[in-house]
Structures are given as C-alpha cells and as structure tokens.
Amino acid sequence: MTNIPVTTWSLEQTAPTDLLPAAAPEGDVRIVRAEVPSPELSRFLYASVGGDLRWIDRLGWTYARWQEHLDRPGVETWVAYDRGTPAGYVELEAQDDGVVEIAYFGLLPAFRGRRIGGHLLSYGAARAWDLADRQPGLPPTKRVWLHTCSLDGEHAMDNYLRRGFKLFDTQVEENPQVAAPGPWPGAHAD
C-alpha cells in the first residue's frame, strides 16, 4: 500500500466574538438539532458527507458504539436541511475544561457550492459557544476548536478562516492511501 503525506491543520476560536457568521443562504435551508440520539442518522450523515473525503475511522463502528458515543453528555448533532432533505451536519463534542470540538462538519456532495456550508459552520460554532446552556453540568465554553486536513474539501480551510477560526497547529504525517469508499459499500465517489 502506498503512503501519501497528509497535512492536518488545527484551528480555534477563543472567544464567542471571534465568530464571523456567514449570511444565510437563499431558499428553505433550516438547521435543526437531532435531539434524539440516532445511530442510523449519524452513520448516514457520516458516510454520506465523508464518503468521497475518505472518512473511514467510524465506518466500522457497531450500532452499540454509535449509541454509546451519541449518549455522552456534550455530544450534539445539528443537521442542515434544504427543502426538507438532509444537506449536511455538524457534530459537537464537549471536552475537558470548557473546550468544545467541532468533531465533524460537512455537506453531502450534492449540496456543496450552494453557500450552505458557511451558514452551517457559523451556526455550529455558535452552538458550540452556547453548548453549556443546553447541557446541564457542562462548564461554559472557553474555546472551540476543529481540525481539517489536505484530504478535505477544497473550500474547507477558507470557510474556517472566514468564520474567524485561527490556525494553532500544523502536522504532516504519512498515511496509507485509501480509496474513497463512497456513502455505502459498492459506491465509489472518485
């Protein structure tokens, strides 16, 4: 198997005022919290958004593993819908000491390039900043962070920077080159 260099960039906001919101896109785009933890929905979003981006780390998770993850305090899934159809999502994950990670964020391929991503990221970052208001027992958010890599969408880094995230770490590692699995077995997104 061939290895390829993959650059991972970590970005952060250290105050709610760092967030530079994008304008809402035209049309009937809504963002709704998936309040009932649903392994089926989360796996669908993960595989559908990340299928062509080589997101593979959760593909082997069992139903029970998904449920365990989603039941953790401070884990939230926010779904963007375009005219009732899931268009993308953002997953928040509370960490120690008031830190919230935007663990996953992205759009299904058919919805990219339609100005939904900036709006969804803005909304997700704002929800990371007020996570403690919805999650009793969590400390107030002091920092929101995320990472992206050279395998992610071509506009990902620009979107993060335009939303006010600042780069704080860069790492380059050799990773095995894997084919993009697509959203389900047998689908090929490349």
- Whole-angstrom Cα distance, residue 150 to residue 157? 9
Return the percentage of the chain with pLDDT > 70, whole number.
Answer: 94
Q: pLDDT value at position 108?
A: 94
Whole-angstrom distance, CA of residue 104 vs CA of residue 94: 13
- Name the residue among 73, 159, 64 with its Cα closest to residue 120: 159
> Could you tell me the pLDDT band of residue 186, with boundaries at 50, 70 and 90?
low
Give me the torsion for CA of 4, 181, 94, 79, rounded to 10°: 130
Rounded mean pLDDT of 98-114?
A: 95
Query: Binning pLDDT at 50, 70 and 90, where does residue 177 land?
Result: confident
Which region, left, alpha or beta, applies to residue 130 given φ > 0 means left and ψ of -120 to 50 means alpha?
A: alpha
How much is the pTM? 0.92
Fold of 3-176: Aminopeptidase (3.40.630)
Task: Say whether pLDDT at 34 is over 90.
Answer: yes
Give the distance, in angstroms, between the CA of residue 30 and the centroid of all CA atoms in the same chain. 17
**Where exactly are the structural domains of the chain?**
3-176
Q: Are 41 and 74 in contact (CB under 8 A)?
A: no
Instruction: Please say if the pLDDT value at position 182 is more than 80.
Output: no
Model pLDDT, residue 185: 64
